[in-house]
Amino acid sequence: MADGILRSPLHDRHVALGATLVPFAGWEMPVRYSGDIAEHTAVRTAAGLFDLSHMGEIAIRGADAAAFLDAALVGRMSAVALAGAKYTMICTPEGGVIDDLIVYRRDHDHFVIVANASNKDVVVAELEARVAGFDATVEDVSAEIALIAVQGPRAEDIVGRMCVRGDDDIRAMRYYSATNILLSGDIHAFAARTGYTGEDGFELFVGADEAGAVWDLALAAGAEDGIVPCGLSARDTLRLEAGMPLYGQELTRDTTPFDAGLGRVVAFGTASKPRGPFVGHDALLKAKVEGPARVLVGLVGDGRRAARAGYPVLDPEGAAVGVVTSGAPSPTLGRPIAMAYVPPALAEPGTVVGIDVRGRREEMTVAALPFYSRAS
């Protein structure tokens, strides 16, 4: 830690690679190496290597671990299979999103939650406040773990080469599943087929003291496939093209999962599979029944000027009726794209809206999310 800023266990490698380092959620992290577009394109066409060690990891253990998470989160974690993963959220009693999370089931009584770096301490505190009455413990294990991601169409081959026992385990993994693997150098890793880029890929959980060796191994294993280190800037345009929300922009305490078009992550239960109460249940049920007052949509422009977060969305008369949450030129599509909250009446794909880009109206067209899918 320098001047109160946290540093990844891979900091020295980022410096050696000439990365541009910036403050991010209390950490000093690489925003780019070779260049935003080059890194973005590498992930879409070959593979990119990401340091995600700033993310928070929280271990939940105990006989009531599954029941506790069912009560604390909006998803049904007890239904997650061993070595499975699930995208979910932790919400306020009023239904606002505190953070979006991925939960991994390591064992019947052991889960690991990955939280956003900026929200890790808040999520830990919320879970600790909600665990009373359950035979379960909440432990922040972030300092012990480094998280390294290999993302892109060549990711399977690259991670397979990193394994001592060959790539059979890797190739057999389904999306949103995980397994224990042994990497060259006798390094044990928990590998998850998850990511935040819209591409196939793997996220490798390893001991913080082994992060450098795993980073070097990935670069060596992916050299013939064109793997490149990637920073936060490429990660942001990749997730935007894939229509993936970012906490603090698409998701906040003032938005519900239903506002963001993610009501599917909220499990209310059915007559055949009833579910007990969870924090935010009543408010979220009300939000589902009433429908959102604003809707998250995609926007695509034909001009050169990009809509950025915070820019007003204008109706045909020029009145501000919404706000852009994320926006950038799309390297893959070659056009400006954005996500924005608008009234339901303007949410139909094909609807033309205006964006106030520094005092000048730029027209964009509502489009279905995601903008890009590797299956398309």
16 Cβ neighbours under 8 A, 6+ residues apart: none
Question: Are 307 and 208 in the same domain?
Answer: no
Report the first-to-last Cα separation within the chain, whole angstroms.
44
Question: Are 21 and 158 in the same domain?
Answer: yes
Domain final position from 241, 276, 307: 241
Question: Are 218 and 306 in the same domain?
Answer: no
Question: Are 237 and 317 in the same domain?
Answer: no
> How far apart are alpha carbons 336 and 307 in whole angstroms?
7
> How far apart are alpha carbons 282 and 94 in whole angstroms?
8
| Tokens of residue 316, six digits | 């045909």
Does 79 fall in a domain?
no
Report pLDDT for 63: 98
Does 256 fall in a domain?
no
At 128, give phi and psi (nearest 5°).
Answer: -60, -35
Report pLDDT for 275: 86
In total, the chain counts a number of residues equal to 376
Burial of 170-188, coded b for 16+ CB within 10 Å and e otherwise, reads beebeeebbeebebeeebe
Contact 354, 343 (CB under 8 A): no
The CATH number of residue 150's host domain is 3.30.1360.120
Contact 285, 257 (CB under 8 A): no
Does 103 fall in a domain?
no
Domain final position from 213, 241, 269: 241
For tokens 């964009």, the residue is 364
Reduced to 3 states (helix: H, G, I; strand: E, B; else coil), residue 36 is helix
Question: Are 48 and 149 in the same domain?
Answer: yes
HSE (CB half, 13 Å, CA atoms) of 322? 32
Q: Which of 336, 312, 337 minimizes the C-alpha distance to 324? A: 312
| Tokens of residue 65, six digits | 């671990």
Expressed as residue numbers, the domain containing 375 is: 293-376
Question: Are 222 and 305 in the same domain?
Answer: no
Report pLDDT for 37: 98
For residue 218, count other CB atoms closer than 10 A to its CB. 26
Domain final position from 225, 241, 257: 241
Question: Are 154 and 215 in the same domain?
Answer: yes
Does 283 fall in a domain?
no
Contact 60, 17 (CB under 8 A): no
The CATH number of residue 346's host domain is 2.40.30.110
Report pLDDT for 376: 46
Domain tally, the chain: 2
Q: Which of 301, 304, 319 minimizes the C-alpha distance to 365? A: 301
Q: Note the pLDDT tens digit of each residue in 121-137.
A: 999 999 999 999 999 99
For residue 335, count other CB atoms closer than 10 A to its CB. 15
Q: Report, as ranges of residue numbers, the positions in the chain whose pLDDT lies below 50.
A: 376
DSSP code for 225: G
Contact 91, 97 (CB under 8 A): yes
Report pLDDT for 2: 55
Does 80 fall in a domain?
no
Does 284 fall in a domain?
no
Question: Are 180 and 305 in the same domain?
Answer: no
Does 35 fall in a domain?
yes
Run of H or E including 30: strand 27-32
Burial zone of 2 (CB within 10 Å; 0-12 exposed, 13-18 middle, 19+ buried): exposed
Q: In what order do the strands lie in the sheet with 20-24?
A: 6-7, 27-32, 20-24
For tokens 């397994």, the residue is 179
Does 171 fall in a domain?
yes
Question: Are 362 and 227 in the same domain?
Answer: no
Q: Which of 253, 227, 229, 249 minimizes the C-alpha distance to 239? A: 249
Q: Which of 278, 285, 296 minimizes the C-alpha distance to 340? A: 296
Question: Are 155 and 34 in the same domain?
Answer: yes
Reduced to 3 states (helix: H, G, I; strand: E, B; else coil), residue 86 is strand
Question: Are 234 and 297 in the same domain?
Answer: no
Question: Are 330 and 223 in the same domain?
Answer: no
For residue 307, count other CB atoms closer than 10 A to its CB. 28
